[in-house]
Amino acid sequence: MEQNRSSFSGKLGFVLAAAGSAVGLGNIWRFPYLAAKYGGGIFLLVYIALAVTFGFALALTEIAIGRKTKLSPIGAFSSLNKKFSFIGILGSIVPIIILPYYSVIGGWVTKYFVGFVSGNASLMAGDSYFGDFIGSTGEPVWYFLIFIGLTALIVLLGVDKGIEKVSKIMMPALILLILIITGYSLFTLDGAWEGVVYYITPDFSKFSVMTVVAAMGQLFYSMSIAMGIMVTFGSYLKKDVSIEKSVYQIEFFDMGVAFLSALMIVPAVFAFSGGNEEAMSQKGAGLMFETLPKIFDTMPGGNIIGAIFFVMVFFAAITSSISLMETVVSTITDKFKLNRTLSCLVVFLGSAAIGLVSAFGYSIWADVKVLGMQFLDLFDFASNSVLMPIGAFATSIFVGYVLKPKSIIAEVEGLDENGKPYHTFRAKKMYSIIIKYIAPVCILLILISSVLDALGIVKI
């Protein structure tokens, strides 16, 4: 079994593969709208603080557990301790919830790409265009089915390696394009610079518990942690690669793309809304789709730039949806001993059915709200603000008090044939403190407050 496990060819291969899974709609679509909604600079500050502490500790833990056990999540946790195998199971449920609604948004991206290619730039810049689009019963559903169908086809045919190659070129190109769009909007839109100030200067009066709740959910989602994915990546990792350095690099990519995407979007929204912060906090999932077409509309060659931009976002999204679907397919294949083709079909049909709920959530089911949320937001909340924090909490208790941090530290340091550590683990003191004390206490508090808030018991 162990000998058959292929490994990443080199250090960079691992970092790029993990970053490819991490960088996706979470960075380009989700981060900017949360930053706009939760007070700009203060959200950014809280996010960075959480990323370099919790994010770092949890990603490192998962990769180390994967490399130590050489197993996928369910097997990995149960091989370490039977009582804690539920962490692996919990983690495997998360991608099942995320994949369907992720693909609904992937469908929106596809629609916008098609729209720009067919020369509809100015139509799409209209105020009610996005609302009308998601409020209709036809197109959002078809585009969703196209996106998830394509993901399933790629997973079934096993051509994800080809996609990965393409996205290695697309990713740097996307970053470049984001910089160009940002530059254009900052220098042409009135009031955009005040928007930059709003985005990067923390205003502590805007701090609330909800800022932390949102930032933490975003961190889990964006870094693909607390769902077993990093365990799987770690299981393919060779001993001579430093886990600590890799985590720094993955975080750098992930935060970099999120930071830049929000720099492209938040100041522009600020400018379009005339600096009205009240209006900014009302913004939601549609932000990227409403703001960018407005920028492209005024830009010379906006049709082409819009098309190129959305095709790149499409690639970033599909690499993530492939990695989500791969995880679900391999869980189902292992658990129910199905063959891969059948598993793919089951996952495709199941996700299509669950995703339809989100896709119809803005049209025929627009009035149905659970806990005050639309379906898409509800799924997003259940995975990012409930299941992932529970998984992360359980992981920190397990590693902090049962497995003990020293065993993760030993895996990170690695021993060569003379029994000497391969790598120095510079942040090991900080790591132990976070995983034992800070992570469990903070995650628990955040989890409780977000659930109480959703149930309407306490308004935070």
Total Cβ atoms within 10 A of residue 169: 11
Who's near 218: CB < 8 A, 6+ residues apart?
A: 26, 30, 31, 34, 47, 384
Beta bridge partners of 370: 373
CB closer to ligand PHE out of 50 and 403: 50
Distance between CA 451 and CA 232 in Å, rounded? Answer: 29
Phi, psi of 415, rounded to the nearest 5 degrees: -120, 135
- Of residues 92 through 111, those in contact with ligand PHE by CB under 6 A are 98
- Which range binds ligand PHE by CB under 6 A, 79-87, 176-184, 272-280, 317-325? 317-325
Helix (H, G, I), strand (E, B) or coil at 370: strand
Please name the amino acid found at residue 378. L
Q: Considering the complex, what minimum distance in angstroms separates the CB of residue 21 from ligand PHE? A: 5
- Contact between 66 and ligand PHE per CB under 6 A: no
**Is residue 324 near ligand PHE by the rule CB under 6 A?**
yes
- Smallest distance, Å, CB 294 to ligand PHE? 24
Least separation in angstroms between CB 212 and ligand PHE? 19
Measuring CA to CA, which residue among 64, 68, 65 is closest to residue 84?
65
Q: Which is nearer to ligand PHE, 22 or 268 (CB)?
A: 22
Cβ proximity to ligand PHE: between 189 and 230 the closer is 230
Binds ligand PHE (CB under 6 A): choice among 110, 222, 291, 303: 222
Q: Give the span between the Cα atoms of 270 and 190, in whole angstroms.
A: 10
How many residues bind to ligand PHE according to rule CB under 6 A? 15
Residue in the shown chain whose Cβ atom is closest to ligand PHE: 26
Chain centroid to Cα 279, Å, comes to: 25
Asked if 17 touches ligand PHE (CB under 6 A), the answer is: no
Q: Which residues pair with 415 in a beta bridge?
A: 421
| Residue of the chain from 214, 219, 229, 271 that contacts ligand PHE (CB under 6 A) | 229
Q: What letter represents residue 47's amino acid?
A: Y
Q: Are 330 and 91 in contact (CB under 8 A)?
A: no
Name which of 88 and 195 has its Cβ closer to ligand PHE.
88
Q: Does 396 bind ligand PHE (CB under 6 A)?
A: no
Contact between 16 and ligand PHE per CB under 6 A: no
Decide: is 454 part of the binding site for ligand PHE (CB under 6 A). no
* Position among 20, 24, 355, 440 found at the interface with ligand PHE (CB under 6 A): 24
* Phi-psi map region of 339: left, alpha, beta (phi>0 left; psi -120 to 50 alpha): beta
Interface with ligand PHE (CB under 6 A): 21-22, 24-27, 98, 221-222, 224, 227, 229, 320, 323-324
